[in-house]
Structure 1
Amino acid sequence: MERTRCPARFTRALAAFSVSLLAAGTLAAVAPAAVAADTDLARNGGFESGLSDWACSAGSGAVVSTPVHGGSSALKATPVGSDYANCAQTVTVKPGSTYTLSAWVQGDYVYLGATGTGTTDVSTWTQSSGAWKQLTTTFTTGSATTSVSIWTHGWYGTSAYHVDDLSLVGPGGAPVAVPAAPTGLTAGTPTATSVPLSWTASSGATGYQVYRGGTKVAAVTGTSTTVTGLTASTAYSFQVTATNSAGESAKSAAVAATTAATGSTGGGNNAGLPDHALVGYLHSSFANGSGYTRMADVPASWDVINLAFGEPTSVTSGDIRFSLCPVTECPNVESEAEFKAAIAAKQAAGKKVLISIGGQNGQVQLSTTAARDAFVTSVSKIIDTYGLNGLDIDFEGHSLSLNTGDTDFRSPTTPAIVNLIAAVKTLKAKYGSGFVLTMAPETFFVQLGYQYYGSGPWGGQDPRAGAYLPVIHALRDDLTLLHVQDYNSGSIMGLDNQYHSMGGADFHIAMTDMMLTGFPVAGDQTKIFPALRPDQIAVGLPASTQAGNGYTTPAEVTKALNCLTKKTDCGSYQTHGTWPGLRGLMTWSINWDRFNNGEFARNFDAYFG
């Protein structure tokens, strides 16, 4: 908490390539059949057929007759505002094969690349003073890769760029057949606002589309999802189709499900929370300008109280310690016995008290199994000593950074991330179904994964961008609440491909909609981050102007809640659903809210009654 995050502009380095020359006298011996079979797989790479086979973001592309490099046409694409004029197409390729991507370009900044290669995605770029320049890059497909996306784009705030004679040369991919319709579609136990679905995989499918009453509501890569934003006590019908580069299958047989009555939460780990909960952080181990608040003095409005903070003895030790604020810093601090008694009293009143690990100054990196085990042991000791209900993960700074090559949130390889997931699963197994697990990542670590993740199509970006996504995904069945910090952040792009800034309703609506709708990670449509349930989501805000950048007035908070739960008061951002089961709000912090005369808690109580 209280940490500023401003996404930086990411720079690129132009790759240098070398060409191996055939030795004289061996020409006949080294002319393999595979080379003769290579072909140009890019469709309409000269743009002689208009924009056929190309998709350009935000309507940014057009075909012009001048300037051209060859033929009579070329692409002209114009970045506008937060859109950088990306034009792309999907091409069928062969697994384990090498391809050369090239194009002639001109413009202030022009980029060329390929994603979904199954190995290392590639990109290259150039600045041009007006003359045509050729960009070239190569890649090798993975052992199971049958299609890739090739793309070109400009950059924010620059003038139009031009592309012509684009080619992708390599072995032609075998024809891909449209997959058969999925079978075995079943519905799990519904909640009042969601229905879990699962089905049998279709051979050759790379993704699935989920339909509710004939309307597409989700796109996923796996064989299960949870459809959210539903109305209580209502019958629904669902179908699923399978997709790949050849197209979309027929719809599966329909399955019917009826949502539970209002107030029911069905599966998941709701841990006895009220339908709408107020979550706050209590400065228990330190003082700041907000003053120290004793546990017994925490107002009854707060349903989840996160003790801030448990911190490591060193960044890599995994050994977490917690102690009350020293009396020299907090003259009104209670005794240990009073603190424990007050926790028990809160719990008797139905409140949950958690230990929050991390914060602005408590970087934790579980890079080794020894650190993982020390984390489990030390966190267990804190929970047992104070009789707590669970754990809040508030890793900030460089606690979570993706290693190079860790490009799939569904199967992370970075040790610090793998070990954190394992440690939390161990704690959950130890304490059972009543264990409350919450997370408070910054938007930088979550929603920024929509644009940047792993090595991605950009290369060189901050490895923390989206680094929480593997943790959230792996623990989604154990997760009680996710309350992303919608503050101390730069502008973030929403699913509308527009940037949204802190402090207004639109920012909270757009950031929350992403978690309740799901989104492709780093623009890769084969890697869709699945939606969370609305009962797992609380919107995170600062309690006052002193608590962090991005303070949002009660009127704007109310607008955000109205849009998310009722689809009224929506501003420039239109949500992809309506979620009356949204769990509630989180704030930094209880102390700052008391300092601000309880404005945040009063607004929550007035809204949810």
Structure 2
Amino acid sequence: MRTRHRLLACATAALFGGAGVLMAPAAAQAANLLTNPGFETGTLAGWSCAGNAGSVVSGPVHGGTRALAGAASNSDTARCAQTVSVRPGTKYTLSAWVRGSYTYLGVQGGTATWTGSAADWKQLTVSFTTGASQQSAEIYLHGWYGQGTYYADDISLDGPGGGDDTEAPSAPGNPRATGTSASGVSLAWDAASDNVGVTGYDVYRDGTLATSVTGTSATVGGLAPGTSYRFTVRAKDRAGNVSPDSATVTATTGKDDGNGGDRFIQAAPYLYLGWGNPPSPTEVMKATGIKWYTMAFILAQNGCNPAWDSQRPLTGGQDEAAIKAIRAAGGDIVPSIGGWSGNKLGPNCSTTEALAGAYQKVIDAYRLKAIDVDIENTDEFENPAVQDRILGALKIVKQNNPGLRTILTFPTLNTGPNSWGDRLIERAHELGADIDNFTIMPFNFGGQADMYGNTVKATEGLKAKLVSTFGWTDQQAYHHIGISGMNDSSDAGEVTTAQIWTQIRDWANSHDLGRLAFWAVNRDRPAWQFTSITAGFTG
């Protein structure tokens, strides 16, 4: 990545939307009026959290696979709220499962309840009656100052939907599978119509709610490889009216080769123990569900010897201790060898064989499943001899370590690889380096760049280069592509918000890319939003 030692300003944004849950068809009476009540969309869709203090986590959860985490601080209670349409003079029951100290549940301007301490999940319930002319109600949860993170899940507001609208939307049309991987299926459909307006869609997998979205596409992850699934879609409106099922679409996931599918798939944000008050990797894993980290940086020490940051020992130090903890928690790491700055192995190892030997020391030290060479700057990326040396060394270690996956990470233009990137890809083909993944870093384009649009354009440019060089199909090329972004502000002042990063992740999922990373977990505080989003990458 380009920036290594400078903590850039955070500019994240909470995600808003109108997804929802299953409601009784063709009637305004609904079992639950809340949008995204269990956070199974993997986002904060429908919820507004003050100060960006809310995030969606994969653990701990009460039901399903996601829950809300509110990072209360000394100056903020991490209040998360949602406004719904209600009927005047009507009784409603609000409930939520919560965990943590001093967690509150209530309705704005009305009644509330709270728990002083909940070491495990505890249900809070409160009832209220709307006013004689009340048309909406804001329900909320929050923690308390200095009491730390609270968790909430399976939130419910029982009662009739607001307004006099009883007309259900039409069924979504033309449902179709737009892509598959070993663990996910991407779907799209034509928009439904409604007399007032459609607010979202529920996607069902074999009759069970799988995800809720506001647009006309979705990716359903967490599926078994080589398995056939049936999907239907329902539209809904704000009053709680739900459409009939769409037509059924059947899709089969890809076969598993024992490494996460029939191809290499990895969600691995950067973790750097040499800078920026590094967080506990296992605590971040618990909070976000992330399994892999890209550990930075392996550099040269006293010639052609690998070491962390050129100074910390390869084994026996804090880096090895962190890796052991990550693995004990069910995760793994890929080392980042090289980077933008520092004393690198590529120029310091005088031959291809010597460089392969240095890589092998790292592989042997940690019994690695994958290695990443981050090739940048004039000493490696813009040096033909060093480019060839790196490619040759990767070819050697891959031949000597069956099953090892190899990654090349390098800069890009907003249209795809520059001339040095083109050369790197062409030489990888000519030398038979058998690289598993070509990961680009789509940032530092300058100014107020469209980070989503430019990332997609740069990735499509890389795809075209891989197709023309290797003779792959578009799908094969996508499988060999990775995106490594930069959360919040880049060196050039571009801003990638959490919402934009979610768009990039969803696009990567829908195109079956092989890898997703960002620089860096160290900068993803306090709610680990980008890490949580990255954990939803399924390829």
TM-score band (shorter)?
0.3 to 0.5
Q: Return the TM-score normalized by structure 1.
A: 0.41
- Structure number with bigger Rg: 1
Q: Return the TM-score normalized by structure 2.
A: 0.46
Q: Which has the higher strand share?
A: 2
